[in-house]
Amino acid sequence: MTNHAPVYVLIRPDGRAEWGHRLMTAEEELGQHGVGRASLTDGSRLRIAMSDCALLLRDIYPPNPRAATALAHLAGISPEQAPETRGPIVLYGYDPMNEWDNSRPLSTDEQASITKALTAAGCTIT
Residue 1: predicted pLDDT: 44
Residue 111: predicted pLDDT: 98
Instruction: Report, in angstroms and rounded to the nearest whole number, the Rg of the chain calculated over CA atoms.
Output: 13
For 68-112, the pLDDT digits (tens) are 999 999 999 999 999 999 999 999 999 999 888 889 999 999 999
- The secondary structure of 11-48 as a DSSP string is E-TTSEEEEES-HHHHHHTT-SS-EEEEESSTT-SEEE
CB atoms within 10 A of CB 64: 24
For 23-40, the pLDDT digits (tens) are 999 999 999 999 999 999
For the chain, the straight-line distance linking the first and the last C-alpha, in angstroms and rounded, comes to 11
Whether the model pTM is above 0.85: yes
Mean pLDDT over all residues of the chain? 94
